Structure 1
């Protein structure tokens, strides 16, 4: 989820820079509800993408010196239980998935595996 948040923040910063409406780094951080340090890291990441990024001290905003476009596409696909069974085509796998539902903590998962190994062994 951290990567998705970072991509979304990059998209927002890019849009604000194109509109020349960022304000100072601390103001930009406030607008994005993040720290000033993280704001600088995101701006640096844009520079790593070869963004012609500059700061205008008179208007107190970041801007692109030349045309620059950043396109970020985020796609999330939800796979249902039936699709998983079809993908792996096995009844044993389906039982395994059902037994793990609701027990996603590391401790629950380890207990489940220990029981399975005790039964198998």
Structure 2
């Protein structure tokens, strides 16, 4: 799966769970264009990040049961040579040099 598509999928998962509008597991997976098995694999990835997802039959939706949610930001910009040299991590692709990094409120994590 390409990187941008994966980001978009996690944005949609986050949005629908926060709004408690996912529907049943089958409906949610169908809405995302993935299998139910893939949906639960994504939930396992979220769990590794500290986000626990549960399902409520009463509201017919998944929800974050620890009141946390994802904050996903994606920024694409052209870097000058001087700025590229200051950036650590990432991956070089033939046509486009890309740098990916993780950030929290206090420092950059490479």
On whether the aligned pair clears a TM of 0.5, the verdict is: yes
Give the RMSD, CA atoms, in angstroms. Answer: 2.5
Deviation at 1:45, TM superposition (A): 1.2
Alignment of 1:43-54 (within 5 A): 43-54=43-54
Q: Which residue of 1 aligns with 2:23?
A: 23
For structure 1, the residue ranges without an aligned partner over 5 or more in a row are 88-99, 102-121
Deviation at 1:3, TM superposition (A): 2.2
Deviation at 1:4, TM superposition (A): 1.9
Report Cα offsets for 1:59-90 as digits up to 9, x if no partner: 221012232131111122357xxx78xx8xxx
SS in 1 for 2:39: helix
More helix by share: 1
Q: How many equivalent pairs are there? A: 84
For structure 2, the residue ranges without an aligned partner over 5 or more in a row are 85-93, 96-110
Structure 2 distance, partners of 1:14, 1:55, is: 14
Q: Which residue of 1 aligns with 2:3?
A: 3
Structure 2 distance, partners of 1:2, 1:36, is: 20
- The question of 1:34 aligning with 2:27 is answered no
Alignment of 1:41-80 (within 5 A): 41-78=41-78
Give the structure-1-normalised TM-score: 0.57
Give the structure-2-normalised TM-score: 0.62
Structure 2 distance, partners of 1:37, 1:69, is: 22
More strand by share: 2
